[in-house]
């Protein structure tokens, strides 16, 4: 696997800029179920990539630029030349990078839970000197869920098993290690300086994976930028607070996204 495959709905109002949802490091397009379905029902052309980033080839997963190019290629294959990019976690950095490199194609970005401004949380993962990832404990699953969500468990058993199966593959673990390394060396401030499109940041107030305050401070005075803190929410607002996330997203799209040129 070297590039994304995507599900898309083309029956929306094509005068609207399509909304493209990027999968996260080890969660596929299913994390976008609520906004994807609701925006499609409201008449927006939508797309979501299917594979988690760590399911891709290591050379793609380990490069912000290659990930972004692969994502835009999937959009172009669906006939979406201009898009609003919605992304969570590592995908958030990819969205920022794309907005800076392709301002003619990325009309707006919506970012949640992006890494890079705080220390990695201890969830039972470690990276050795060969840049491979290993699970350090049997309670990885519980520690990961506690880090992802503020309250409760929002992944089904099927979704958890799908993720666990992915983490059992040596190739996925190597791709994950390359991805983590890419986030740590990425210059976020320099990338943000190149972003000129409307930008919405939707962050869980209790995000333990990627804490809210460094990001709120970093984007506070940037033009065309809105920052929303979601109460009683952790790292994945599009799941833990799906209704609020989708409402905020649609309000942003209606108020700022331009029609296709």
Using one digit for the tens of pLDDT, what is the confidence trace for 146-196?
777 888 777 777 777 777 777 777 887 888 888 888 998 999 999 999 999
Integer distance in angstroms from the first to the last C-alpha of the chain? 33
Tokens of 237: 């607002």
Q: What is the pLDDT of residue 1?
A: 42
Question: Are 186 and 116 spatial neighbours (Cβ–Cβ below 8 Å)?
Answer: yes
Place 222 in a pLDDT band, splitting at 50, 70 and 90: very high
Say what the pLDDT of residue 258 is. Answer: 56
Mutual angle of helices 90-101 and 170-185, in 10-degree steps: 60
pLDDT > 70? residue 133: no
Query: Domains of the chain by range and CATH?
Result: 6-256 (3.40.50.1820)
Percentage of residues in the chain with pLDDT exceeding 90? 64
Q: Do 124 and 139 contact (CB within 8 A), yes or no?
A: yes
Among 103-117, 160-174, 199-213, 230-244, the range scoring the smallest mean pLDDT is: 160-174
**218: its two tokens:** 């970093």
| Cβ atoms of 61 and 179 closer than 8 Å | yes
pLDDT of residue 248 exceeding 70, the answer is: yes
């Amino acid at each position: 696997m070297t590039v994304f495959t995507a599900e898309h709905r083309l029956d929306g109002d094509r005068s609207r800029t399509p909304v493209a949802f990027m999968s996260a490091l080890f969660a596929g397009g299913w994390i976008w179920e609520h906004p994807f379905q609701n925006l499609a029902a409201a008449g927006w052309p939508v797309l979501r990539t299917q594979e988690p980033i760590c399911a891709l080839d290591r050379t793609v997963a380990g490069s912000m630029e290659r990930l972004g190019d692969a994502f835009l290629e999937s959009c172009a294959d669906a006939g979406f030349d201009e898009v609003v990019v919605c992304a969570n976690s590592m995908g958030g950095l990819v969205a920022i990078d794309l907005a800076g490199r392709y301002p003619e194609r990325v009309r707006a970005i919506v970012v949640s839970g992006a890494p890079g401004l705080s220390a990695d949380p201890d969830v039972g993962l470690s990276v050795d000197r060969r840049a491979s990832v290993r699970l350090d404990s049997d309670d990885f699953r519980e520690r990961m869920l506690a880090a992802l969500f503020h309250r409760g468990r929002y992944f089904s058993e099927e979704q958890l098993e799908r993720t666990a199966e992915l983490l059992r593959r040596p190739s996925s673990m190597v791709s994950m290690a390359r991805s983590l390394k890419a986030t740590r060396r990425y210059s976020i401030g320099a990338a943000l300086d190149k972003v000129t499109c409307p930008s919405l940041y939707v962050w869980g107030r209790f995000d333990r994976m990627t804490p809210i305050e460094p990001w709120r401070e970093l984007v506070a005075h940037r033009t065309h930028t809105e920052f929303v803190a979601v109460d009683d929410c952790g790292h994945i607002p599009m799941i833990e607070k799906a209704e609020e996330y989708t409402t905020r997203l649609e309000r942003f799209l209606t108020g700022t996204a331009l029609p296709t040129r």
